[in-house]
Amino acid sequence: MVKIEEIHLRLGGFSLKNITLHVAPGEYLVLLGPTGTGKTVLLETLAGIYRPSSGRIWINKKEATRLPPERRNLGVVYQDYALFPNMTVRQNIAFGLRMKGASRKETETAVNEMADFLEITPILERRPARLSGGERQRAALARALVLKPHALLLDEPLSAMDGFTRDRLRRELKRIHREFHITVFHITHDLAEAFFLAERLAVMKDGLILQVDTPQAVKTRPASRMVAELMGIANLIEGEVKDGMLLTPLGPVDLQSFSPGPPTHRKQVCLTVPAGSVEIFPSLDRTDYLWQGRLLVTGIGSMDNQLNLELTSLNGLTLKTTLSPREARTYSRRLTVGMQVPAAILKEGVFWV
């Protein structure tokens, strides 16, 4: 269990502001946010490198706010791996055990078992300079895990990887979490990585925690426009609330379509509209549309057999949608930039902030 309660910390012109996070025993929590938003500062505060000006930290049911890093029993893996360059992989993994006074036999057994689990036995006698990025990452994970920490803290652990290695190590992190039942606090700016790994997702920006929930809940019901933007929601439509209707650049939208709807005192509302909720050539017999009209095709692109469209209303509002491979085959020859197409927005998937 890891609990961060109302942490405040100032470093130069940057501040962590009233951070509260609870990570349950055995949970995989991912902290997502853009670069420079304070994720690493928070991780290092939890690890004991920085001492907060106020607030408390609990690790394994014991208050650890004032404990030095070596007494917190946390395994930390940084994006640059921080392996000792003058030591072999075996010596790197064994280092913490030796510092704790483990016997030579205990150390050798633990290192060999961990190397076998992470499939790095063939590289145990190499030094870090002779390792690939994936091998360095596994060695760093082995060094942290061999100490049986209360929790594993991962600081952008996959950011320096090529795509193939990154995908492989994502699966490896899932296996480690499943096999060790270890609490993981993982920070990243990569949305796909966060969604693949997180059991719960915390969204951070400018030293503030904006929302904590399951990845799916954060994606479908963002707490603010900023969260929606960080979630990569394709379309954000601003509107003014008046007489139970939301007046948008596309036209009026009935707020009774939402349950629950926005508070009655709200004057401005932003609709979050996933790309998949925007349809072209909508079915004439469906009744679950929030809006229907005509839009101008202003951009066409393709990726992974999908067709990405940019659509613009007469008053300049731009919407994005993605057609499935089947839809792409159906419509690709019919679509050209500059043509008008009938379009609609499905109620399903649309939320307000």
Record the tokens describing residue 183, joined without a space.
């609490």
Structural domain tally of the chain? 2
Residue 321: predicted pLDDT: 96
pLDDT band at 243 (very low <50, low <70, confident <90, very high): confident
Report yes or no: 258 and 327 within 8 Å, Cβ to Cβ. Answer: no
Indicate if the pLDDT at residue 264 is higher than 80.
no
* Percent above pLDDT 90 for the chain: 80
In sequence order, what are the beta bridge partners of 202?
A: 31, 212
b/e 265-290 (16+ beta carbons within 10 angstroms → b): eeeebbbbbbbebbbbebeeeeeebb
The span from the CA of 97 to the CA of 115, in Å, is 14
pLDDT band at 328 (very low <50, low <70, confident <90, very high): confident
CATH number at residue 288: 2.40.50.100
> Which of 75, 51, 79, 84 lies closest to 65 in space, CA to CA?
51
Both 206 and 66 in one domain: the answer is yes
Indicate if the pLDDT at residue 276 is higher than 80.
yes
Residue 258: predicted pLDDT: 80
Indicate if the pLDDT at residue 198 is higher than 90.
yes
pLDDT band at 104 (very low <50, low <70, confident <90, very high): very high
Both 325 and 215 in one domain: the answer is no
pLDDT band at 123 (very low <50, low <70, confident <90, very high): very high
For 103-117, what is the mean pLDDT?
Answer: 96
pLDDT band at 1 (very low <50, low <70, confident <90, very high): confident
Across the chain, mean pLDDT equals: 93
Residue 287: predicted pLDDT: 83
Indicate if the pLDDT at residue 308 is higher than 90.
yes
For 199-220, what is the mean pLDDT?
Answer: 97
Higher pLDDT, 254 or 312: 312
pLDDT tens digits for range 285-301: 888 899 999 999 999 99
Residue 302: predicted pLDDT: 86
Residue where one domain finishes, among candidates 174, 204, 225: 225
Residue 50: predicted pLDDT: 96
Both 215 and 132 in one domain: the answer is yes
HSE on the CB side for 280, CA within 13 Å?
26
Both 20 and 60 in one domain: the answer is yes
Higher pLDDT, 302 or 175: 175
> Which of 184, 177, 203, 223 lies closest to 31 in space, CA to CA?
203
Residue 257: predicted pLDDT: 81
Record the tokens describing residue 274, joined without a space.
């996933």
Both 314 and 245 in one domain: the answer is yes
Both 262 and 139 in one domain: the answer is no
Indicate if the pLDDT at residue 91 is higher than 80.
yes
For 263-274, what is the mean pLDDT?
Answer: 88
Residue where one domain finishes, among candidates 204, 225, 246: 225
Both 210 and 333 in one domain: the answer is no
Record the tokens describing residue 12, joined without a space.
């130069």
**pTM for the model:** 0.91
CATH number at residue 74: 3.40.50.300
Residue 92: predicted pLDDT: 96
> Which of 272, 265, 246 lies closest to 257 in space, CA to CA?
246
Domain, as residue range, for 325: 233-352
Indicate if the pLDDT at residue 217 is higher than 90.
yes
The CA-based dihedral angle spanning residues 316, 322, 328, 332, taken in that order and rounded to the nearest 10 degrees: 20
For 56-74, what is the mean pLDDT?
Answer: 95
pLDDT tens digits for range 152-187: 999 999 887 888 888 999 999 999 999 999 999 999
Both 177 and 322 in one domain: the answer is no
Residue 262: predicted pLDDT: 80
